Amino acid sequence: MNKPAILALEDGSVFHGTAIGADGQTSGEVVFNTAMTGYQEILTDPSYTRQIVTLTYPHIGNTGINAEDVESGAIAAAGLVIRDLPLLASSFRSEQTLSDYLASQNVLGIADIDTRRLTRILRDKGSQNGAILAGPDAEGEGAETRALEAARAFPGIKDMDLAKVVSCAEPYEWHEGEWALGKGYADAAQEERPYHVVAYDYGAKRNILRMLASRGCRLSVVPAQTSAEDVLAMNPDGIFLSNGPGDPEPCDYAIRAIQAFLETDIPIFGICLGHQLLALASGARTVKMGHGHHGANHPVQDLDTGHVMITSQNHGFAADEATLPGTLRATHRSLFDGTLQGIERTDRPAFSFQGHPEASPGPRDVAPLFDRFIEMMKVKR
């Protein structure tokens, strides 16, 4: 725990701390997440690809790591920034320490820095390109210069098409249901599943698939670049558009496929990147946000009922409400900054939500959106 580490931002800010995890160098867009729990789910969320995550809660790693609380097959974040790594990890479910987990997957981290100062920079100036140097790379007179050069060399997330990079290589069936204490994950294959849903994997979190499976969906997960013709040939009852990383506008393959689906009466449900892609396919535009939304305490209002929900969020782009065509209407809005959080087509059974109704981590106030999708398929049938 005595190895040095350096975090540098493109604006010239430099932080010196302690290396946790692997040695070496990494770069990416530095963002902050305000969630107090769920660091393992955050690290393994594919939507954090090419991003260095700063956690504002000061004590991270105190419950260790276990094999169940993952949202993908590996750590997706480019690096981790925290204030304090506790000397002991204590949980009856813990199987590994956070630092060992990072090292085992060759992921860099830095601790013992002023994350409050870092968060203020990101809040005031917006997300910054940055770099972490850890271990021998962070030593010597030229270390700060190397870190700054690496930070400024990162091209930025805008215009990056990352959905096809993180997507699965081949189609597969998903059978795992939701988790219960003492029981683990349910085997949804043993349950009645009357609805066949084709789920596009743009970087899908596993808990989204689990919640659909637990609600009676037989899931066929397909790669991001799968054509509309191939999906329609599978005769789905519904089409799901997953979360994912990067800029939605370069994902022309996804936009074309969604436009084809919108010519049918098949119910469509999108989350996060899937929400932005539905907006683009319908004729709206998307914008890069300043520091984005990352956390588990974001208030969102249902514009139809006035009901306010606390939601889990992870996105750096947003659909621009001012550009919505007549075929789209706003359904949800952020009470933090007024950005668009939900849309639905006025002429087709299609809707989407910007936040993460599956939580993991976070509140489950928005989980009924999954039930709405099921009801749409039921009505169509």
Q: Which residues are catalytic?
A: 272, 356, 358
How open is the CA angle 274-277-280, to the nearest 5 degrees? Answer: 155
Integer Cα distance of 47 and 246 in angstroms: 7
Which residue blocks in 60-217 are alpha helix, DSSP H?
98-104, 115-125, 143-153, 163-166, 206-213
Residues 242, 221: Cα–Cα separation, whole Å: 10
**Omega of the bond leading into 245 within 30 degrees of 0 (cis):** no
292 CB-contact burial (10 Å; exposed 0-12 / middle 13-18 / buried 19+):
buried
Which residue, among 187, 186, 208, has the nearest Cα to 197 in the 3D structure?
208
Q: Helix or strand or coil: residue 101?
A: helix
78, 51 contact by CB (below 8 A): yes
**What CA–CA distance (Å, rounded) separates 32 from 121?**
10
**Contact assessment for residue 154 and residue 130, using Cβ atoms and an 8 Å cutoff:** yes
Distance of alpha carbon 274 from alpha carbon 351, whole angstroms: 10
- Counted residue by residue, the chain has a size of 381
Return contacts of 207-210, CB within 8 angstroms, 24+ apart.
Answer: 207/41, 207/71, 207/178, 207/358, 207/359, 207/360, 208/240, 208/242, 208/243, 208/271, 208/356, 208/358, 209/174, 209/176, 210/176, 210/177, 210/178, 210/179, 210/185, 210/358
Strand 24-33 relative to strand 51-55, pairing: parallel
Closest to 61 (Cα-Cα) out of 14, 20, 7: 20
